[in-house]
Amino acid sequence: MKFYTVEIEERREFGAYTLLSYRWPGENIEPGRFVMARAAGYPITLDPFLARPFSFYDFVDGVASLLFEVRGRGTELLDRALGTIEVTAPLGKGFEIGVSGGRAALLGGGIGVVPLKILGRELAARGIAHDVFLGFLDGKTAAVADDFPGAAVATMDGSTGVHGTVLDAAPDLREYPVVYACGPNAMLAAVKGAAGPDGLRQLSVEERMGCGNGSCNGCVVPVDGGYVRSCIEGPVFRAEVLAW
């Protein structure tokens, strides 16, 4: 897979999360697509050997941004990166937009809020009304909600917004003809159940990925009759396709 060395244009902290932006002169970036990214330069590129997947947070005037939580060595090195990082071109299949009319509900859990920023921007550009619901563990992770004006927020510790899960901050999802969600699988399964089968329901999964280009089978998700690779067929799936 081809990696491009790009200069970091901006670094910002949102509570527990870090935002890194870089100029992307290539194709337009559609909401829900992802990138494999890593800290730049030998020998760092050997440890960890594999780049890590990240959803695009935003794309404005040719500047792409990623927002991430430090979990292990890959994200720790990105967090400390100075000057440049290495990224692939945009990968995977993003959200379907405008295929079904009506108001949309956008739900994000934890770092799963990431693709909702660029998605909300695209919906607004197309004049599609939408409501945003965000769920977090605590006030520190909820800090990024400031970047989603008008969003309803829930925290598990009750320190910000409603006390509970993102579903506790949302009204009856069955009233929305379009529902988009990203977060841990348990949250996505709960959203799928709450939204019901009617309308367009799209879920962005965050399975662990090795290659990001379909060659390792490390990112499979269950579907009726077997498994598919989420880096190729996803990471965004229609809810009814996922067998959970």
Ligand X SMILES: Cc1cc2nc3c(=O)[nH]c(=O)nc-3n(C[C@H](O)[C@H](O)[C@H](O)COP(=O)(O)OP(=O)(O)OC[C@H]3O[C@@H](n4cnc5c(N)ncnc54)[C@H](O)[C@@H]3O)c2cc1C
Minimum distance from CB of 65 to ligand X (Å)?
10
With a CB cutoff of 8 Å and minimum separation 6, the contacts of 117 are 57, 58, 67, 147, 148
Among 14, 24, 31, 55, which residue sits at the site for ligand X (rule: CB under 6 A)? 55
Indicate which of ligand X, ligand FES, none lies near residue 68 (CB less than 5 to 8 Å, by partner kind): ligand X
Indicate which of ligand X, ligand FES, none lies near residue 111 (CB less than 5 to 8 Å, by partner kind): ligand X
User: How many residues sit in the footprint of ligand FES (CB under 6 A)?
Assistant: 12
DSSP H helix total and E strand total for the chain: 5, 16
d(CA 31, CA 94): 6
Minimum distance from CB of 69 to ligand FES (Å)?
20
Site for ligand X in 71-100 (CB under 6 A): 71-75
Q: Which span sits near ligand FES by CB under 6 A: 37-45, 74-82, 211-219, 236-244?
A: 211-219
Site for ligand X in 217-236 (CB under 6 A): 235
- Return contacts of 146-150, CB within 8 angstroms, 24+ apart: 146/14, 147/14, 147/117, 148/113, 148/116, 148/117, 148/120
Q: Which span sits near ligand FES by CB under 6 A: 112-120, 149-157, 176-184, 210-218?
A: 210-218
Among 214, 240, 243, 244, which residue sits at the site for ligand FES (rule: CB under 6 A)? 214
Site for ligand X in 149-188 (CB under 6 A): none
Among 40, 104, 209, 239, which residue sits at the site for ligand X (rule: CB under 6 A)? 209
* Whether 3 contacts 44, CB under 8 Å: no
d(CA 239, CA 237): 6
Q: What track of x and - describes contact with ligand X for positions 25 through 54 (by CB under 6 A)?
A: ---------x-------------x---xxx
Using the structure block, give the residue that is written with the tokens 């770092």. Answer: 111
- Return contacts of 189-196, CB within 8 angstroms, 24+ apart: 189/244, 190/165, 191/107, 191/166, 191/167, 191/239, 192/239, 192/242, 194/167, 194/170, 195/105, 195/239
> Is 167 among the residues that bind ligand FES (CB under 6 A)?
no
Minimum distance from CB of 208 to ligand FES (Å)?
8
d(CA 3, CA 37): 8
List residues near ligand X by CB under 6 A: 34, 48, 52-55, 67-69, 71-75, 111, 114, 206-209, 235
